[in-house]
Amino acid sequence: MNLYSPGTQLAVRDRIERDMEREVARALGRFLADAKAVALESLSPGAVVPFSPTVLADGWEACVREAAGAVVDVQTEPEEYAEVVTVLLDSSIPDTVYASVEAVLTRGRDAGWDRQRMGRELRAALDPHVGVTVDVPEEVTASLSTRGRTMGAVAAGVAVGVATLLAARRFQRRAREARVPRQRWVSRRDGRVRPTHVEADGQTVAAGELFIVGGYGMRFPGDPAGPPGERINCRCNLVAVR
Residue 87 above 50 pLDDT? yes
* C-alpha to C-alpha distance for 192 and 144, rounded to whole angstroms: 9
DSSP string, 157-170: HHHHHHHHHHHHHH
pLDDT 10s digits, 92-115: 889 889 999 999 999 999 999 999
Task: Name the pLDDT band for 45 (thresholds 50, 70, 90).
Answer: confident
- Which residue did the predictor score with more confidence, 193 or 133? 193
Among residues 196, 192, 175, the alpha carbon closest in space to that of 184 is found at 175
- Ramachandran angles phi, psi of 182, nearest 5°: -140, 155
Segment 140-156 mean pLDDT: 63
Segment 122-147 mean pLDDT: 63
The helix/strand/coil state of 76 is coil
* C-alpha to C-alpha distance for 105 and 39, rounded to whole angstroms: 8
* Distances in whole angstroms, Cα of residue 47 to Cα of each of 90, 130, 152, 181: 29, 29, 30, 61
Segment 217-232 mean pLDDT: 92
Q: Residue 145 has what pLDDT? A: 41
Task: Convert 21-58 to b/e letters by CB count within 10 Å (16 or more is b).
Answer: bebbbebbebbbebbbebbbebeeeeeeeebeeebbee
pLDDT 10s digits, 48-68: 778 999 999 999 999 999 999
Segment 115-141 mean pLDDT: 76
* C-alpha to C-alpha distance for 242 and 190, rounded to whole angstroms: 26
- Which residue did the predictor score with more confidence, 145 or 166? 166
* C-alpha to C-alpha distance for 28 and 232, rounded to whole angstroms: 18
* C-alpha to C-alpha distance for 182 and 171, rounded to whole angstroms: 12
* C-alpha to C-alpha distance for 133 and 126, rounded to whole angstroms: 13
Query: 181 exposed, middle or buried (CB, 10 Å; 0-12, 13-18, 19+)?
Result: exposed
Task: Name the pLDDT band for 132 (thresholds 50, 70, 90).
Answer: low
The mean-pLDDT minimum among 24-28, 79-83, 135-139, 176-180 falls in 135-139
* C-alpha to C-alpha distance for 115 and 111, rounded to whole angstroms: 12
According to DSSP, the β-strands at 182-186 and 204-206 are antiparallel
The mean pLDDT value of the chain amounts to 90
List the chain domain ranges: 6-157, 180-241
Task: Name the pLDDT band for 232 (thresholds 50, 70, 90).
Answer: confident
- Calculate ∠ Cα 195-201-204, nearest 5°: 140
